[in-house]
């Protein structure tokens, strides 16, 4: 699939992969801070942002999309930075194409399969309820974002989550509104996004060819204790850094700290 990507700066390529419900635009602040030293590709993954829609959505096709993106832009290697869903896609890609990854940065996601536990907001049951809430919006009765937010609020009380979702609203040619996300496809495939990399471990695949950095938020539970064990088994040369006073959206909550950590990890590749 031909993905939409913005390009900023010049130098060694750094590809940023956003998380579920996100887009490359969410990472503009980070990209601008890095673009004085590297060339940043801000990617909209399939079914998100300005990229095409598809009925398929799993980590294999996301990794395949990344191969196509790199081939189309004549990139033999790149630094891959992925957050949440984008982090899982980045790990999947690195496990299959380690020769094309110079450094790997994973933001607040572990490599393991997440159980479908309704009490844990990172898992498919929660995202299913979010996507169902998005599908339930009556755009015909909405005169603006305030109306859409009020409808979402009937099902989703978290204001921050709603504000994030509303970034995916676009105006139609008839002045109405719609979701830019392919909400039905994401809902149909949501269980795929809980998948982990256990199969690579079972096949004896250990990724020690490239430096790997995991960054987690202190207030997030997306990297749990079992994940730390699997991280070290799958990525024996990796290290884990925790950002204080940050949750899952650590790059938005503590951007200066996040940027400082990433720049420190990228030293040595600058042109």
CB contact at 8 A, 241 and 261: yes
> With 80 as the cut, is the pLDDT of residue 153 above it?
yes
Band of pLDDT at residue 38, cut at 50, 70 and 90: very high
CB contact at 8 A, 80 and 70: no
CB contact at 8 A, 170 and 204: no
Token pair in block for residue 115 = 């159980």
DSSP state of 37: T
CB contact at 8 A, 70 and 78: yes
| 190, 214, 247 - which closes a domain | 190
Q: Which residue has the tokens 């921050």?
A: 160
Strand-pairing partners, residue 104, are 80, 212
Is position 271 within any domain?
no
- Which is higher by pLDDT, 225 or 181? 181
For the chain, the residue count is: 271
Band of pLDDT at residue 226, cut at 50, 70 and 90: confident
The domain in which residue 158 lies consists of 124-190
Select from 197, 178, 201 the least CA-distant residue to 92. 197
- Are residues 89 and 129 both part of a single domain? no
Band of pLDDT at residue 21, cut at 50, 70 and 90: very high
- Are residues 19 and 90 both part of a single domain? yes
Distance CA 111, CA 195 (A): 9
In the predicted model, what is the mean pLDDT of residues 208-217?
94
Annotate 184-201 with b (16+ C-beta within 10 A) or e (fewer).
ebbbebbebbbbbbeebb
Is position 105 within any domain?
yes
Is position 118 within any domain?
no
> With 90 as the cut, is the pLDDT of residue 43 above it?
yes
Q: What's the confidence (pLDDT) of residue 61? A: 98
Q: Which residue has the tokens 């572990």?
A: 110
> With 60 as the cut, is the pLDDT of residue 48 above it?
yes
- Are residues 148 and 212 both part of a single domain? no
- Are residues 105 and 129 both part of a single domain? no
CB contact at 8 A, 153 and 145: no
pLDDT digits (tens, 9 = 90+) for 127-148: 999 999 999 999 999 999 999 9
| Stated pTM of the model | 0.95
Q: What's the confidence (pLDDT) of residue 120? A: 47
Select from 3, 2, 20, 17 the least CA-distant residue to 186. 20
Sort residue 9 into left (φ over 0), alpha (ψ -120 to 50) or beta.
Answer: left
Is position 59 within any domain?
yes
CB contact at 8 A, 222 and 151: no
> With 90 as the cut, is the pLDDT of residue 227 above it?
no
- Are residues 105 and 26 both part of a single domain? yes
Token pair in block for residue 14 = 């750094």
Whole-number percent of the chain with pLDDT over 90: 84
In the predicted model, what is the mean pLDDT of residues 38-67?
98
Band of pLDDT at residue 123, cut at 50, 70 and 90: low
Is position 119 within any domain?
no
Average pLDDT over all residues of the chain: 93
pLDDT digits (tens, 9 = 90+) for 25-34: 999 999 999 9
In the predicted model, what is the mean pLDDT of residues 155-159?
93
- Are residues 49 and 79 both part of a single domain? yes
Longest dimension (CA), the chain: 55
> With 70 as the cut, is the pLDDT of residue 174 above it?
yes
> With 50 as the cut, is the pLDDT of residue 246 above it?
yes
Band of pLDDT at residue 271, cut at 50, 70 and 90: low
- Are residues 68 and 38 both part of a single domain? yes
Distance CA 152, CA 137 (A): 7
Sign of CA dihedral 202, 265, 260, 73: negative
Q: What's the confidence (pLDDT) of residue 124? A: 78
Band of pLDDT at residue 79, cut at 50, 70 and 90: very high
Q: Number of structural domains, the chain?
A: 2
């Amino acid at each position: 699939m031909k993905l939409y990507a913005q390009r900023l700066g010049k130098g060694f390529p750094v590809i940023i992969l956003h998380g579920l419900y996100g887009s490359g635009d969410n990472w503009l602040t980070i990209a601008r801070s890095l673009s004085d030293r590297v060339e940043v590709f801000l990617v909209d993954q399939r079914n998100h942002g300005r990229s095409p829609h598809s009925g398929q959505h799993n980590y294999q096709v996301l990794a395949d999309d990344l191969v196509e993106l790199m081939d189309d832009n004549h990139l033999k290697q790149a630094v891959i930075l992925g957050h949440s869903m984008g982090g899982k896609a980045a790990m999947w890609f690195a496990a299959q194409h380690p020769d094309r990854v110079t450094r790997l940065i994973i933001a607040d996601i572990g490599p393991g399969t997440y159980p479908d536990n309704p009490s844990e907001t990172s898992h498919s049951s929660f995202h299913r309820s979010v996507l169902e809430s998005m599908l339930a919006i009556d755009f015909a009765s909405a005169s603006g974002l305030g109306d859409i937010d009020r409808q979402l609020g009937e099902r989703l009380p978290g204001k921050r989550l709603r504000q994030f979702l509303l970034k995916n609203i676009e105006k139609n040619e008839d002045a109405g509104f719609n979701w830019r996300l392919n909400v039905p496809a994401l809902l149909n495939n949501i269980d795929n996004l809980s998948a982990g990399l256990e199969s690579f471990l079972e096949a004896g695949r250990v990724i020690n060819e490239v430096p790997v950095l995991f960054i987690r938020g202190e207030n997030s539970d997306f990297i749990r204790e079992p994940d730390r064990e699997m991280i070290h088994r799958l990525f024996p040369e990796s290290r884990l850094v925790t950002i204080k006073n940050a949750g899952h959206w650590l790059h938005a909550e503590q951007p200066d700290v996040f940027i400082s950590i990433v720049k420190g990890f990228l030293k040595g590749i600058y042109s």
